[in-house]
């Protein structure tokens, strides 16, 4: 019933049972409403930032006590919206509940390719996939032979960055928090190298080991101390895609206190660009043209981490902040 303070805990979320379920939209409601049955829900780090009321935040804070809103995959049961009809499969912003009335559906897309696993639309074929595509290709403009580093490399976005980097002819190294993830990056996802950042005493030294000649592209998923360690290791004219800063989300006020060595941006002529994937959804059709053949031809490997049932959703979301997830974390509410 309150905004969240500090580290997100399972007990910050409660599961409510509703007595009646009406599988038709109620009479007299909005003309744009869509009633959906939720199938898969996406656990995304930014959701934590909506649990605290912040001034000048891009996202509106969740209203305490109301269902969490987030990306998911759903089936339309009833619709008064001209773009959706009963039976459609959709992905976009829905609620963390079994059934949701989405009114108006501001971010909701009809799934055109139902021959793909539907869960993919919470990840590789949805918002995180788009973020990887935009953040790597549009923002970093990779060139053959360049050296790429990606943090949170075994997560939803990170696993794709490593593979995009290899497809672009780059050398790529990823960091993650366990041996299991490091092995996965090297042996299954095709990274050239990977290391467990938790085991490194000196991050600067670790980066020098893997990038003796410096980093051309840093895909930043974590911010904080890792970003500080990366900056001195960037090459002149390097690019940093500021995709996310998960190390800060449990205490966003901390950001003001992190004294990043940003003067290096000047002396190394670096280009660091943040982006919000929602601003690039117009590129979704182009992205699908590129990603679908890569998946179908087996040129991209995609790893998912399923939590079964809404009752396990809080633990799944909390787990993102201690690296429990291997690959894309999502919640199965119903399979059809
Ligand atoms: P992931 O699947 O990568 O899950 C989060 C991972 O972050 C964890 O598994 C953990 O992996 C790592 N992590 C957690 N806490 C810390 C910490 N304190 N320091 C370092 N690493 C930590 O999540 P996503 O792929 O969905 O998201 C990755 C990033 O991209 C996030 O910052 C997210 O906010 C951002 N994002 C931004 C978008 C945009 O529009 N700009 C869109 C989508 C995502 P590990 O084992 O490596 O510790």
Query: Is 225 part of a structural domain of the chain?
Result: yes
pLDDT tens per residue across span 43-65:
999 999 999 988 777 788 999 99
Residues 113 and 180 both lie in one domain:
no
In whole angstroms, what separates CA 119 from the centre of its chain?
A: 14
Confidence of residue 19 (pLDDT cuts 50, 70, 90): low
Residue 136: inside a domain: yes
Across 164-190, average pLDDT = 98
Same structural domain for residues 167 and 92?
A: no
Whether pTM > 0.95 for this model: the answer is: yes
Pair 77, 23: CB distance under 8 Å: yes
57 in a domain, yes or no? yes
The residue range of the domain holding 249 is 127-278
| pLDDT recorded at residue 90 | 98
Enter the ipTM: 0.99
Q: Does residue 244 sit in the same domain as residue 273?
A: yes
Q: Tell me the residue length of the chain.
A: 336
What CA dihedral angle connects 322, 72, 48 and 176, to 10 degrees? 30
Ligand 1 neighbours (beta carbon < 6 A): 44-46, 127-128, 131, 152, 154-158, 176-177, 181, 221-222, 243-247, 275-277, 320-321, 323, 325, 328-329
Question: What CATH code is carried by the domain that includes residue 63?
Answer: 3.90.180.10
CB 305 within 8 A of CB 326: yes
Q: Which are the contacts of 208, defined by CB distance < 8 A and separation ≥ 6?
A: 233
What's the CATH number where 271 sits? 3.40.50.720
Ligand 1 atom closest to Cα of residue 329: 2
Q: Are residues 47 and 143 in the same domain?
A: no
Contacts from 252-256 at CB under 8 Å and sequence distance 24+?
A: 252/49, 252/52, 252/54, 254/224, 255/223
Answer whether residue 119 is part of any domain: yes
Residues 137 and 272 in one domain: yes
Alpha-carbon dihedral 241, 246, 247, 253, rounded to 10 degrees: 100
For the chain, what is the domain count?
Answer: 2
CA quadruple 271, 277, 280, 284: dihedral, nearest 10? 130
Residue 23 lies in a domain: yes
Q: Pocket of ligand 1, candidates 6, 57, 152: which has the most ligand atoms within 8 Å of its Cβ, to mutate?
A: 152
> Strand pairing of 89-95 and 99-102?
unpaired
Summarised one tens digit per residue, pLDDT across range 205-247 is 999 999 999 999 999 999 999 999 999 999 999 999 999 999 9
């Amino acid at each position: 019933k309150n905004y969240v303070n500090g580290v997100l805990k399972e007990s910050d979320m409660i599961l409510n049972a509703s007595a009646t379920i009406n599988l038709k939209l109620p009479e007299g409601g909005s003309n744009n409403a869509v009633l959906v049955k939720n199938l898969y829900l996406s656990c995304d780090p930014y959701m934590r930032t909506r649990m605290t009321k912040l001034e000048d935040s891009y996202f509106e804070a969740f209203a305490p006590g109301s269902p969490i809103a987030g990306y998911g995959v759903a089936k339309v049961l009833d619709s008064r919206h001209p773009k959706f009809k009963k039976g459609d499969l959709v992905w976009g912003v829905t609620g963390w509940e079994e059934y949701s009335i989405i009114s108006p559906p501001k971010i909701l897309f009809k799934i055109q390719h139902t021959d793909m696993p539907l869960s993919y639309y919470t990840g590789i074929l949805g918002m995180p996939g788009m973020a990887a595509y935009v953040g790597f290709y549009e923002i970093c403009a990779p060139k053959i032979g360049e050296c790429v580093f990606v943090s949170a490399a075994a997560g939803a976005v990170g696993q794709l960055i490593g593979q995009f980097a290899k497809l672009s002819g780059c050398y790529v190294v990823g960091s993650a928090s366990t041996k299991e993830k490091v092995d996965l990056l090297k042996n299954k996802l095709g990274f050239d190298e990977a290391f467990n950042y938790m085991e490194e005493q000196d991050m600067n030294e670790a980066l020098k080991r893997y990038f003796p000649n410096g980093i051309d592209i840093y895909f930043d998923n974590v911010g904080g101390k890792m970003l500080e360690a990366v900056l001195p290791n960037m090459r002149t004219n390097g690019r940093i895609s500021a995709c996310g800063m998960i190390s800060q989300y449990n205490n966003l006020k901390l950001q003001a206190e992190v004294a990043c060595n940003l003067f290096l941006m000047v002396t190394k002529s670096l280009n660091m660009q943040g982006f919000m994937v929602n601003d690039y959804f117009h590129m979704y059709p182009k992205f699908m043209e590129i990603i679908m053949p890569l998946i179908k031809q087996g040129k991209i490997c995609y790893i998912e981490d399923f939590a079964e049932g809404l009752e396990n959703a809080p633990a799944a979301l909390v787990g993102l902040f201690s690296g429990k997830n291997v690959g894309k974390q999502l919640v199965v509410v119903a399979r059809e």
